[in-house]
């Protein structure tokens, strides 16, 4: 199953790969070179297909828990001052996505979208300390009666050239449903209320819509 954000790119890639296959097969006479080029084209197609995959997730929806918004590795767990929306201290948990991870962004909690904003910016590497403030990014805040307000921020990385954000203020959203997509490498930050029990450790591998990041 592939994400809708990849349909156009997948179609274009198929056309280019098929055309290149035919050209290589017809015009490259050296056997080993032809086989090498065909292998590279096939590998390129597989990489594009796996990048836009959108696997179904079986996380149990629970208003007392915050699910990981994305697949990747936990790279930050710390108390910080969140400047954009809360303007107060929050617990930050950040997940870094490599190009081979699923890049669907999912809502960490269900509830009502109370804030959604896009920021143009730079394309520093996603783990750079200033990436969360200077890179292209979107900030989304969802509120429910149990957990209060939880902010998740999509941050473009050095390879990510487009962030897609579906969240609109006033939307009623379901936990683990699609919140957006980031193309080609990035990071997502979560900002949680102080006192939240964090269920992950640094360098843990997590799955979007399944792994429990935190709970009350």
> Is there a catalytic annotation at residue 186?
yes
Q: 10 Å Cβ neighbour count for 27? A: 8
Mean pLDDT of the residues in the chain: 89
> What are the domain boundaries of the chain?
4-51, 65-215
Strand partners, 180: 105, 165
Residue 160: CB partners within 8 Å, gap ≥ 6? 123, 126, 136, 182, 183, 184, 185, 186
Query: Where does 65-215 sit in CATH, by number?
Result: 2.70.70.10
pLDDT value at position 158? 60
Among residues 94, 186, 201, 211, the one annotated as catalytic is 186
Mean pLDDT value across residues 55-71:
89
Rounded to two decimals, the pTM is: 0.85
pLDDT value at position 68? 97
């Amino acid at each position: 199953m592939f994400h809708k954000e990849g349909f156009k790119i997948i179609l274009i890639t198929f056309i280019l790969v098929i055309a290149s296959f035919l050209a290589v097969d017809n015009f490259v006479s050296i056997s080993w070179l032809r086989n090498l080029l065909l292998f590279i084209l096939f590998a390129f197609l597989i990489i594009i297909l796996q990048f836009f995959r959108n696997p179904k997730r079986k996380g149990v929806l629970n208003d007392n828990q915050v699910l990981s918004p994305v697949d990747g590795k936990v790279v930050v767990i710390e108390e910080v001052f969140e400047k954009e929306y809360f303007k107060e201290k929050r617990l930050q948990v950040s997940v870094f996505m490599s190009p081979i991870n699923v890049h669907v962004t999912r809502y960490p909690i269900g509830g009502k979208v109370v804030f959604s904003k896009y920021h143009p910016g730079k394309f520093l590497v996603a783990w750079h300390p200033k990436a969360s403030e200077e890179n292209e990014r979107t900030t989304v805040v969802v509120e429910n009666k149990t957990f209060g307000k939880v902010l998740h921020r999509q941050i473009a990385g050095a390879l990510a050239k487009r962030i897609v954000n579906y969240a609109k203020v006033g939307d009623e959203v379901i936990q683990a449903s699609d919140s957006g997509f980031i193309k080609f490498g990035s990071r997502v930050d979560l900002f949680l209320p102080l006192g939240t029990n964090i269920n992950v450790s640094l360098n843990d591998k997590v799955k979007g819509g399944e792994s429990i990041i935190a709970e009350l």
